[in-house]
Amino acid sequence: MNQRIIYPNDEGGVSIIVPAPECGLTIEQIAAKDVPAGKPYQIVDVSEIPTDRTFRNAWTYEE
């Protein structure tokens, strides 16, 4: 899968869910199951995730 699910985490940053290719679930099913209840989330293309993780903990979630 070349999509990711992003949501704001409790530490004020952003969590990024990487689907397991062999799990047999769709990205929507994974979002429904693995995003914490009540959290807003977005399904984005992997190209939208920064590749430079130098300041990974400073990343934030935007609606």
Residue numbers at the binding site for other proteins (CB under 8 A) = 1-2, 5, 9, 11, 13, 15-25, 30, 33-34, 46-47, 49, 51, 53, 56-57
Q: How far is CA 60 from the centre of its chain?
A: 12
In terms of CB distance, is 1 or 40 closer to other proteins?
1
Distance CA 63, CA 54 (A): 23
In terms of CB distance, is 52 or 63 closer to other proteins?
52
Q: What region does 24 belong to: left with phi over 0, alpha with psi -120 to 50, or beta? A: left
Q: Closest separation between CB of residue 1 and other proteins, Å?
A: 7
